Chains A and B, each alone.
Chain A
């Protein structure tokens, strides 16, 4: 078969050619050369709804939803560079350049033996949700967090990759938006809630049923005494139902409040306002007002701590 001289076609005739191709085929075409990439960029204007990444072992997968296409775009690349193959960082840059989007909706990191995968992710400008999965190696997770935290809105950790309280606190200070930690036994590890006090996160979420009333109270007392000028707006914790609410509130000068109120988050968080009823109001030494609410669930209690602006 004689190779077809695609570039001899008029540029406008390539538009219907691309219309007949699947997005994955267009991406494959764009990887042929810079010239091919520029042609695709000029003539194919995909409207990206969301892009998600998955890093597992030696593979990076991309799932992108594009307007005007029924099926999502699925791409895979080996994270280990093989001879003759385009390096991961270059591949990723080309793909996102063609899709004209360096904003990622979700990244799930299960880790990879190749730490340089994290360097390739450094081109991302915005990440909405970053998941550090439980099986992600610590070294990989730490490097990924170092690179991606500045551009990530919400970090969700199913493991804490840090070796010490000090390392955790350094990370907590660097996270300036929303951090969720879904890990049982947080307090049984070598970590304590002091890390939450020094955090620069606007919203914190901790699923930790083993936290005692005494430890939560200690955190609240420290916050009220304003030992750290925390920018925290909202702390959520899933705690054990057996935690005594009265014991927790004792000595905080908490005032019961029964009316409905709406809490507005900072614009940076892009979280819609939250309306709730009731709770207990407390006031810090610095004059900041906060509200504590409890919501019962099956074998658990949801504890919320809202700091009013």
Chain B
């Protein structure tokens, strides 16, 4: 459901990860540099698949785009202080998960204004904080945790290496047995059985 993008009245169909479709105006969509690069000149045959993002996220993103259709062209980062009441409500009503989803979608769709406002919001969380204070506001493994994680991984790798070596050793033995002449094979098996019997008897 598409047509040349010159008219702002044109509606485009957007498809979400759930396979649902919904309308977005051409004017709103043109705030996405990704859309402009992919579909603006050639148009789209059928719904535009933004199937990496769910319907709620995409609707939220395009709600912002629809709202800012009449605003002047984006001219670089602005501070939260410059945001309107509507903008502030828009951000404040999102929970953390939705906020991250919106940043991801906005980043993919390359909507400069929305991405910038979101990033400024994140930067605010870190403003004026030193390293120790930052640890409290962001989920980021500390150097010590990473070191501990690395040690665990090293242990795991060492254990895996041992298992692999044992498997290789077993395979080698099996191979050796297969290569033995029949008489020797019989003798080897007998020895093994004897050892097994002895070990049982010792118990």
Residues of A in contact with B (beta carbons under 8 Å apart): 1-10, 12-14, 16-22, 25, 28-29, 31-36, 86
Which residues does chain B contribute within 8 Å of A17, judged by CB atoms?
119, 122-123
Which of B103, B129, B146 lies in contact with A28, CB distance below 8 A?
A: B129
A-B contact pairs, 19 of them (CB 8 A): A1-B137, A3-B136, A3-B137, A4-B137, A4-B138, A4-B139, A5-B138, A9-B107, A9-B122, A13-B118, A17-B123, A20-B77, A20-B123, A21-B126, A25-B127, A25-B128, A33-B143, A33-B146, A34-B146
CA distance A32 to B136 in the complex (A): 11
Q: Mark B87-118, 1 if CB is under 8 A from A, else 0.
A: 00000000010001001100110000001101
Residues of B in contact with A (beta carbons under 8 Å apart): 77, 96, 100, 103-104, 107-108, 115-116, 118-120, 122-131, 134-143, 145-146
Known contacts being A25-B129, A31-B131, A33-B146, is A16 close to B116, with CB within 8 Å?
yes
CA distance A281 to B130 in the complex (A): 61
Which residues does chain A contribute within 8 Å of B137, judged by CB atoms?
1, 3-4
Closest-by-CB residue of B relative to A17 is B119
A9→B131 contact, CB < 8 A: no
A28→B130 contact, CB < 8 A: yes
Which of A5, A13, A32 lies in contact with B107, CB distance below 8 A?
A: A13
Which residues does chain A contribute within 8 Å of B142, judged by CB atoms?
32-33
A34→B143 contact, CB < 8 A: yes
What does DSSP make chain B's interface, helix, strand, loop or mixed? helix
Shortest B192–chain A CB gap in Å is 51
Closest-by-CB residue of A relative to B120 is A20
Closest-by-CB residue of B relative to A85 is B132
A36→B140 contact, CB < 8 A: yes
B77→A16 contact, CB < 8 A: yes
CA distance A36 to B143 in the complex (A): 9
A9→B104 contact, CB < 8 A: yes
Closest-by-CB residue of A relative to B128 is A25
Known contacts being A13-B119, A19-B119, A20-B120, is A32 close to B143, with CB within 8 Å?
yes
Q: Taking A9-B107, A16-B120 as given, write out 11 further A-B residue pairs in contact, using a Cβ cutoff of 8 Å, ordered by the A residue number.
A: A3-B138, A4-B96, A6-B139, A6-B140, A7-B139, A9-B100, A13-B118, A20-B119, A25-B127, A28-B126, A28-B131
CA distance A94 to B170 in the complex (A): 48
Shortest A48–chain B CB gap in Å is 21
Query: Which residue among A1, A17, A19, A28 has the maximum number of chain B CB atoms within 10 Å of its CB?
Result: A17
A35→B77 contact, CB < 8 A: no
Which residues does chain B contribute within 8 Å of A1, judged by CB atoms?
137
Shortest A158–chain B CB gap in Å is 34
Which residues does chain A contribute within 8 Å of B108, judged by CB atoms?
10
B77→A19 contact, CB < 8 A: yes
Closest-by-CB residue of A relative to B144 is A33
Closest-by-CB residue of A relative to B145 is A33
B125→A4 contact, CB < 8 A: yes
A13→B123 contact, CB < 8 A: no
A33→B120 contact, CB < 8 A: no
Which residues does chain A contribute within 8 Å of B96, judged by CB atoms?
2, 4
Which residues does chain A contribute within 8 Å of B116, judged by CB atoms?
16, 20
Which residues does chain A contribute within 8 Å of B104, judged by CB atoms?
9-10, 13
Shortest A303–chain B CB gap in Å is 52
A35→B123 contact, CB < 8 A: no
CA distance A25 to B131 in the complex (A): 8
The 6 A-B pairs with the shortest beta carbon distances in the complex, nearest first, are A20-B123, A16-B119, A3-B139, A17-B119, A13-B107, A5-B139
CA distance A280 to B143 in the complex (A): 65
CA distance A22 to B130 in the complex (A): 12
Which residues does chain A contribute within 8 Å of B124, judged by CB atoms?
20
B122→A6 contact, CB < 8 A: yes
